[in-house]
Amino acid sequence: MPVEFSVEDGVAVIIINRPEARNAIDRETALALESAVQRINAEPDIRCAVITGAGGHFCAGMDLKAFLRGEVMRLPGTGFAGFAQAVLDKPFIAAVEGYALAGGFEIVLACDMVVASSSARFGLTEVKRGLVANAGGLVRLPRQLPIKLASELVLTGEIFPAERLAAAGLVNRLVGEGEALAEAVRLAQTIAANGPLAVAISRRVLKEGLEWPEAELFERQFQITAPVFTSEDAREGAAAFAEKRKPVWKGC
């Protein structure tokens, strides 16, 4: 199977499973990733997701051999790998070991957070193959890194160590080699334990608010967040705090 999928305690884990190709994406893998995302979106018991790669690497991007065979890895509506342009209704955390290159790095950029091992390496290497990083690299990277650093990554195609990108704010947690998945799952479990409605609304404002005019920030925020304060989850959160117990969320 090109993709392994599991769920435990509200956290889904997607493992790209083509270690013989450094988890490069062929069409079969893209379709499997698209299916995994659809399942995560559809199942209310899944609160957060982690995506990683098997065999010590995250993903080396598009499988160039499959590309030469005429395979199409960009799917209608969901983009490269069935992931880069997909609607991600739940928070996603990338757990990166080894290489996250080209389209693999663009999968990382589509996620909400990144946990990387000290051995992780990131690069948008498309220009070295006469290609362009149009699966998110060109438009997401300058929104997540300073423009000078983003320009260096895009235009040189060079590979950067995790430490450099962590210093620039792209990596949330930097861990020892082999520890990225475990740490990402711990981070996901922390998110999954919170009120699902509050997480969803907060995430929406974080994303949409970047495009709002400054004069409209609070008005738009209040319109979106007001229902949270009258929700069943808000009452449950307060009651659970008062009664010194874990809340039982309903997501409404």
Residues that are catalytic: 106, 126
Residue 233's nearest CA partner among 215, 248, 212 is 248
Q: Cβ contacts of residue 101 below 8 Å, gap of 6+?
A: 59, 60, 61, 121, 122, 123, 124, 125, 159
Residue 199 CB-half CA count within 13 A: 21
Please, where are the H alpha helices in 126-179? 137-144, 147-156, 162-167
Question: How many angstroms separate the CA atoms of 238 and 219, rounded?
Answer: 25
At 226 the three-state DSSP class reads helix
Q: Cβ contacts of residue 72 below 8 Å, gap of 6+?
A: 27
Question: How many angstroms separate the CA atoms of 193 and 99, rounded?
Answer: 31
